[in-house]
Structure 1
Amino acid sequence: MHFELFHLGPLTVYTYGFLIAIGILAAFFVADRRGKAMGMDTSHLEGITLTVCITGFACSKLLYILTRLPDIIADPGILMNLEDGWVVYGGIIGGLLGGLWYCRRHQMNFMEWFDLLIPEVALAQGFGRLGCFFAGCCYGIPVEWGITFPEGGLAPAGIPLFPSQLISSLFDFGMFFFLCWIAKRKKFNGEVGAWYLILYSVGRFIIEFFRGDLIRGAVGTLSTSQFISIFTLAAGIAILVVMRNKHKGDATKKV
């Protein structure tokens, strides 16, 4: 695996960070193109993207700290590892809160922007999971067949592991294209965002059974992410039902 992509003098560019950056940039440019094609005013795209990234990364780190609090108290040096120590669900929740705050402050329709940006979130996650693969984090359980990581990464070396990062990446890229397809056919604001929450929750719940990095904590027999998936799935279904009923009610009033 190529943990280090290249060097610029004393600066080392890691593959994980590089792919995260590529994912964010790709998401921004795709969102800009899609937004303009939909006739939306994308003048706020830079602002909302920056806000979502800041709150997303902050909450991703915060949730990681909460899930590993006893370990971090015993060894604060854990926080210095920037290749690990991020929880995707924290990023999703933080990003949504940041986006909601930004939209309310600038009197923007949150659900409309939710639908615009969420396919690109899946796109960025696809690149991010590729970064996980090269860093060796988010690795899978031992299997007879699988991917063997070398020394120097975060995954156990020399043991065939389930390719959880690559499966997750393919799933995220697939979600991106599916959500774009939904976006072209949506009947009400919030529909695309709701489907993202539903699909991601189900996919994440399943892939957790094949993850081998259980240091992220657990709630009973469920991993922390599986436990959160239950609530994000419920939130996605609730948004779908509420916004669909609101759409039908508005259509009835117009008649």
Structure 2
Amino acid sequence: MKIELINGAINPIALQWGPFKVHWYGIIIASAVILALWLSIREGRRLGIPEDDFYDVLLWSLPIAVICARTYYVAFQWSYYSHNLSEIIAIWDGGIAIYGALIGGLITILCFCHYRHLDAWRFLDVLAPSVILAQAIGRWGNFMNQEAYGLVTTKAHLMALHLPTWIINQMYIGGAYRVPTYLYESVGDLLGFVILIIIRHHHHWLKQGEILCGYLGWYAVVRMIVEGMRTDSLMLGQLRVSQWLSVVILIAVVIIVIYRRRHFNLPWYSDLIIKEKKL
């Protein structure tokens, strides 16, 4: 398996046997999911969460998240897909919305925790840093597909950002160089992952549930900023859907954190780990 170039751009197909094609997009997403699962299992052990719970929730949440991500995207692009029904399932060509995946995945995990009698806040706290890391990696699938880009720019501007040549060449799309918004979001997500894993074990900094809230709040800010630079945003009239949803999520996170701190005697996340170690 090697990276091939077509007219200076990376071939989005990694492998092909006759009609069977393996896209880089799928390889990158699968790699991100596997890494997120491994990291979640490691952290789950520190809190006494059985490894099988992570495998089981993945089997349910991943396909549902993909379906919801595609449904979300198609719903806001219905003017196109209503005339191209056969393309609705073509997720290998891109066109899935991360917010749709997050909504579908969150609902599935909440149902799973209810069915298994698991503490949903604790379970989601473990998953949150791994998910945002997976998102950071997954954005490189957009890079391979030459999507999720920004406004027209110049090669000189991209060179001034000290980007490697292979990235600059890949940002030549439709006869012009484009702002690499996928890269900005990937870097923002990666920074969020680093911050979360550093502070989550700090003694008495975060209550249970606040790692999840930190993830949601951080990603909402990153997405709100990056979405304003993109040219392929999903729109609702004149509104960028993801920006408004980001605002709603950010406000909700602040309200939830304040309310839970004032009205509930919540355990510290760091204390949950210490107690498990003493067992």
* TM-score in terms of structure 1 length: 0.88
Q: Secondary structure at the match of 1:160?
A: strand
| Structure 2: distance between partners of 1:134 and 1:126 | 14
Residue equivalent to 1:45: 54
Question: Based on CA coordinates, which of the two structures has the bigger radius of gyration?
Answer: 2
What do the CA deviations read for 1:208-237 (whole angstroms, capped 9, x no partner)?
1111113x22353x3111111111112221
CA distance in structure 2 between the aligned counterparts of 1:250 and 1:49, rounded to whole angstroms: 27
Match of residue 235, structure 2, among 211, 214, 217: 217
Distance 1:39 1:106, change over 3 A: closer
- Corresponding residue for 2:26? 17
Q: Give identity over the alignment, percent.
A: 26
Q: Aligned pair in 2 of structure 1 residues 96, 201: CA closer, same or farther (>3 Å)? A: same
Tell me the residue number matched to 2:245.
228
Q: CA deviation at 1:250?
A: 7.8
Counterpart residue type for residue 148 of structure 2: C
- Which residue number corresponds to residue 193 of structure 2? 176
Question: What corresponds to 2:45 in structure 1?
Answer: 36
Q: 1:101 to 1:224 in 2, by over 3 A?
A: same
Superposition map of 1:117-156 within 5 A: 117-144=127-154, 145-146=157-158, 147-149=168-170, 156=173
Give the unaligned 5+ runs of structure 1.
none
On the 8 A contact 2:220/2:246 being kept in 1, the answer is yes
* Larger CA deviation: 162-171 vs 51-60: 51-60
What is the number of residues matched between the two proteins?
A: 245
SS at match of 2:150: coil
The code of the aligned residue for 2:58 comes to T
Aligned-partner Cα distance in 1 for 2:184–2:98: 15
Q: Distance in 1 between matches of 2:253 and 2:199?
A: 15
Find the counterpart in structure 2 of residue 70 from structure 1.
Answer: 79
- Report the more deviating stretch, 26-35 or 43-52: 43-52
Cα distance change on mapping 1:80 and 1:43 into 2, 3 Å: closer
CA distance in 1, matches of 2:70, 2:266: 41
Report deviation, 1:249: 7.2
| Mean CA deviation greater in 105-114 or 31-40 | 31-40
Moved more, 235-244 or 83-92: 235-244
Counterpart in the other structure of 1:161: 178
Structure 2: 5+ residue stretches without partners: 1-9, 159-167, 269-279
Of 179-188 and 124-133, the range deviating more from structure 2: 179-188
For residues 224 and 27 of structure 1, do their structure 2 counterparts lie closer, same or farther at Cα, with a shift above 3 Å needed? same
Find 1:187's aligned residue among 167, 185, 206: 206
Q: Does the 8 A contact of 1:201 with 1:232 survive in 2? A: yes
Q: What is the SS of the residue equivalent to 2:176?
A: coil
Distance 1:250 1:191 in 2: 11
Aligned equivalents of 1:198, 1:249: Cα separation in 2: 20
Q: Provide the alpha-carbon RMSD of the alignment.
A: 2.1
TM-score of the aligned structures, taking structure 2 as reference length: 0.81
Contact preservation (8 Å) 2:143, 2:170: no
Return closer, same or farther for 1:187/1:167 CA change in 2, 3 Å cut-off: closer
